Copies of this chain bind each other. A is one copy, B any other.
């Protein structure tokens, strides 16, 4: 038996390849799906089935792509109008591969058609050994139930309770838990950064599962407040109808500064994936700063889906990663990247922009001197509520571009987040919209606390 957990960084998306004999299955494949084919083949296996736990909203599902590559059949739950693949109509449907067996279970709550799949090793016993729970049950958290809007949320939360307590947990304490997300996903705010757990551990350690009364569980879920990025809608549509086939990753062109400039003038959007300390010093006017590792989480908030994308990278070796991150969100139209990076741009004496990076000590000094500044905290609600710098205003980074009217233009704006990365996104948006006195705080809240400065709630 082989078992591989394939993690898509940033999205914190977990997919799985399980194989036995010369047959393998994949659960929730990502769109850049060569990895499953290569892994299976390296073990002398052919992929027989592809399973989806649900119609994801946070990334483009790779099932169709993998079907094209392997010929394997796609299976998903009933209840939404999938335009591709096969519907699993009844609970308990079984799929054999090699010496193993997968049993489908309808576990609605996160979405109506959500499925879980229990894996059995009949040679060892009839009890399941693993369960693939999609977005129903995570390590340390459960799936969100707010995707259909506030009216449907009570019903979904109740469904989720039933799915977890009456279907999943009864599989047995010894069953290994294989969820669709790890820490950092937008699909659950408290997911543990440990990826290894069992139903027995979750039963006693998962904070949400301590709410064993249905009413209490539902109440807790209704009080949750999670961000809902605008691109979710597009992903849902893609994942219902089947996204366009890529058949290999897009290969963006190598563009000279002059060609790059021409593409900008024709309307392409520039994304600069460097770190804040590099971006702040010099960047192309009007570009979005989203550090490489932040693309999966933040590109979908700000990048338009109908314009070509141009990339500025720290090192050209990062191109493939950037491309993977973007196509997983459906940004397939990546026009090119700047040959030679930002240095090539400024060597041609083309226009650059910059903003100041300040330390927490500088910020503290400015506050103490009572300078006229606006301090903008762009972290999430949870982080803001857990403590912030006195006098700061709060707008989540994903909402900055839609709330510029709440940010004065004439006065210096000091932006901070947890580290300096999300605040750099915000700073780039402000610069893009004509704010001239923008400062980003290096280290932000982490450094602020390291320095022992005060935090208020």
Chain A residues with a Cβ under 8 A of chain B: 1, 3, 22, 41, 44-46, 121, 123-125, 127, 129-130, 140, 172-176, 192-205, 248, 253-254, 256, 274-278, 280-282, 314-317, 339-340, 342-343, 346-349, 351-352, 354, 357, 359-361, 419-420, 442-443, 446-448, 450-451
Contacts and interface: CB of A to CB of B under 8 A. Distances in A.
Contacts of A343: 275-277, 419-420, 443
A124 B205 contact: yes
Contact of A340 (B44, B205, B447, B450): B44
A419 B348 CA distance: 10
B174 A442 contact: no
B254 A197 contact: no
A127 B339 contact: no
Given A121-B194, A174-B173, A200-B198, A349 B342 contact: no
Given A174-B199, A174-B200, A361 B340 contact: no
Nearest to A119: B196
Contacts of A175: 198, 200-201
Contacts of A46: 253-254
A204 B175 CA distance: 12
A194 B129 contact: yes
Nearest to A348: B450
Contacts of A199: 174
A201 B127 contact: yes
Nearest to A359: B352
A447 B348 contact: yes
Given A192-B124, A419-B347, A277 B275 contact: no
Contact of A447 (B196, B347, B442): B347
A198 B195 contact: no
Contacts of A196: 1, 3, 129-130, 176
Contacts of A277: 278, 281-282, 342-343, 346
Contacts of A172: 173, 200-201
Contacts of A315: 314-315
Contacts of A348: 443, 447, 450
B347 A361 contact: no
Nearest to A193: B1
Contacts of A198: 173-176, 198, 200
A121 B201 CA distance: 11
A349 B339 contact: no
A32 B354 CA distance: 40
